Amino acid sequence: MSDHKVTALVTGASAGLGAEFCRQLAQRCDVIIAVARRPDRLEALAQELAGSAEVHVLEADLGTVEGVTRTMEMLRQKGPVDFLVNNAGFSTFGNFSDLAIDSQRDMVSLHVDAAITLCRAAIPFMEELGAGTVINVSSLAALAPGKGLAVYGAAKAFLNYYSQALQAELSGTGIEVQALCPGYIRTEFHDSMSKAGVDRERVPPQMWMDAGEVVSESLAALGSGQVIVVPGEDNRAMARMAMEQQAALLQ
């Protein structure tokens, strides 16, 4: 009998979607590796999930080489992982030419560099297992470009393309890749953007989703063969409209 423990590694796990992924995956997994920058939040999450799964927490800033290296070492020690959820992220808001370049580069480093590095570390072990799941948390902004989100949306668009190409490369291996593209979520994510001028009140109430709903739709889509997953019917309608507009540009 195999002694393999079904394991998930979730980044950005201290709040919002990351914490919710940990909660819902704890019902599917034996081990949860929760990675984030806030150790107090991670410890609280570990206590919450103690009766559901074996939880290992790692304080790490994935925007740094040190943080990524420490996370890969945790993966090596506690893995292999069956689920990799690349969720850590942030966004600035404002015209590109008005924003500090460092914050824009930091977004690319976190959303792109950290995600592909962790994928490269995890996937060979998944190939040995003959199964695995990679969920790259993207955004509706990757499908519907908008002012104030130039670099954020572009970084998320990279994740969409990367996830689709990666799934094609891994066809037949038993590994599934998903790019999750949520819209507005009731989490702390928009706090910093509100300070930069984003008016939450202008967003129609039906466009907001709870983190639990988003994660449930993500996990429910596994096994469907769908790589790009947009949770919420209103968000899917917006995505279809945006893609139609993009297609019109090619005519």
Active site residues: 152
The number of beta carbons lying within 10 Å of the beta carbon of residue 15 is 17
Say which residue the tokens 């030419």 belong to: 97
| Rounded to 5°, angle at Cα 156 from 26 and 6 | 20
In this structure, are residues 25 and 5 in contact, taking their beta carbons and an 8 Å threshold?
A: no
* C-alpha separations of 66 from 14, 60, 83, 209 in Å: 19, 8, 22, 34
For residue 54, is it left (φ>0), alpha (ψ between -120 and 50) or beta?
A: beta
The shares of helix, strand and coil residues in the chain, as percent rounded to the nearest 5, are 50, 15, 35
Least Cα distance to 149 among 115, 180, 178, 184 occurs for: 184
β-bridge partners, 177: 134
Cβ-based burial of 140 (10 A; exposed 0-12, middle 13-18, buried ≥19): buried
- Over the Cα atoms of the chain, what is R_g? 18
